[in-house]
């Protein structure tokens, strides 16, 4: 039989192992239903791939800590890059909170503050092969298993290639400007926010329980505003010409 001292040593080791696992747990999407119900609901809900870009593009993200510019490289992970662009162009990330911040590991976000909007994008896409490493500043989708990417993402705060690459986390972009703003995102609440409650109550829950949480103000594909203005100006010009012709 083990002595009391030996048991004490074993129990202490288990507690430390548990703490380390929680701190460096891979970014996952927490199911808000039972595993069995989630599997049933997932059948037949795989989303069709969105329009895939062949060239890189940039997304400008205005956050509560400053401006962040993301370069998206479709060649790295085409399906992930396409989904990200769809979400940005739909305005999905506007108002989203950085709900999980683990210092020296990751910053996680991607649950919309409006439960109705979030449920609209609860459509899974297939995995991309891992062609790049999860180095500091790269952007990657969180998952709850194979082929379960939806809208949640994380930014690597350090080189996590050793722990995440082998688990199938495939980066699709990288921060080219504003990493200092990402480093300032508050870690005051750590991993306390509950994902199921965010999905059910949205920002009402987060603003009430975690008032100092940083967030995304807007996220836009770079050049979109200029293109929209040019398109509107062109349409206005054509309308004026038509009116003059009719008169």
Segments making up each domain of the chain, as ranges: 43-227
**Global pTM value:** 0.76
Residue position matching structure tokens 């004026």: 240
Mean confidence (pLDDT) of the chain: 82
Among residues 21, 168, 201, 203, the alpha carbon closest in space to that of 98 is found at 203
Q: Cβ neighbours of residue 80 under 8 Å, at least 6 residues apart?
A: 125, 128, 140, 141, 149, 170, 172
Q: What is the second-level CATH architecture of the domain 43-227?
A: Beta Barrel (2.40)
Q: Is pLDDT of 4 > 60? A: no
Task: Please give the pLDDT value at position 234.
Answer: 57
Task: Please give the pLDDT value at position 11.
Answer: 32
Q: Is pLDDT of 150 > 80? A: yes
pLDDT, tens only, 67-89: 999 999 999 999 999 999 999 99
Distance (Å, rounded) from C-alpha 127 to C-alpha 141?
A: 10
Select the more confidently predicted residue: 111 or 17: 111
Q: Is pLDDT of 235 > 70? A: no
Distance (Å, rounded) from C-alpha 127 to C-alpha 77?
A: 9
What confidence tier does 26 reach under pLDDT thresholds 50, 70, 90?
confident
pLDDT, tens only, 43-69: 444 555 555 667 899 999 999 999 999
What confidence tier does 241 reach under pLDDT thresholds 50, 70, 90?
low
Q: Cβ neighbours of residue 7 under 8 Å, at least 6 residues apart?
A: none
Give me the half-sphere count of Cα atoms (radius 13 Å) on the Cβ side of residue 17. Answer: 6
Most confident of 6-20, 182-196, 216-230: 182-196
CA 140 to chain centre: 7
């Amino acid at each position: 039989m083990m002595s009391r001292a030996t048991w004490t040593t074993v129990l202490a080791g288990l507690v430390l192992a548990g703490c380390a696992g929680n701190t460096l747990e891979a970014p996952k999407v927490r199911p808000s239903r039972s595993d069995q119900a989630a599997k049933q609901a997932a059948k037949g809900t795989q989303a069709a791939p969105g329009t895939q870009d062949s060239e890189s593009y940039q997304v400008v993200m205005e956050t509560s800590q400053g401006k962040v510019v993301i370069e998206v490289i479709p060649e790295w992970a085409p399906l992930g890059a396409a989904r990200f662009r769809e979400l940005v162009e739909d305005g999905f990330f506007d108002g989203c909170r950085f709900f999980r911040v683990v210092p020296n590991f990751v910053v996680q976000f991607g649950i919309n503050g409006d439960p109705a909007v979030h449920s609209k994008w609860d459509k899974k896409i297939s995995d991309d092969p891992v062609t790049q490493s999860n180095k500091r500043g790269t952007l990657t989708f969180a998952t709850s298993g194979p082929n379960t990417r939806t809208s949640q993402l994380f930014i690597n705060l350090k080189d996590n290639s050793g722990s995440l690459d082998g688990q199938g986390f495939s980066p699709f972009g990288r921060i080219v400007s504003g990493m200092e703003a990402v480093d300032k995102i508050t870690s005051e609440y750590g991993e306390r926010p509950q994902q199921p409650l965010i999905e059910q109550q949205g920002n009402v829950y987060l603003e009430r329980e975690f008032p100092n949480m940083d967030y995304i103000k807007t996220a836009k594909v770079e050049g979109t505003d200029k293109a929209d203005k040019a398109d509107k100006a062109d349409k206005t010009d054509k309308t004026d010409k038509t009116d003059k012709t009719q008169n």
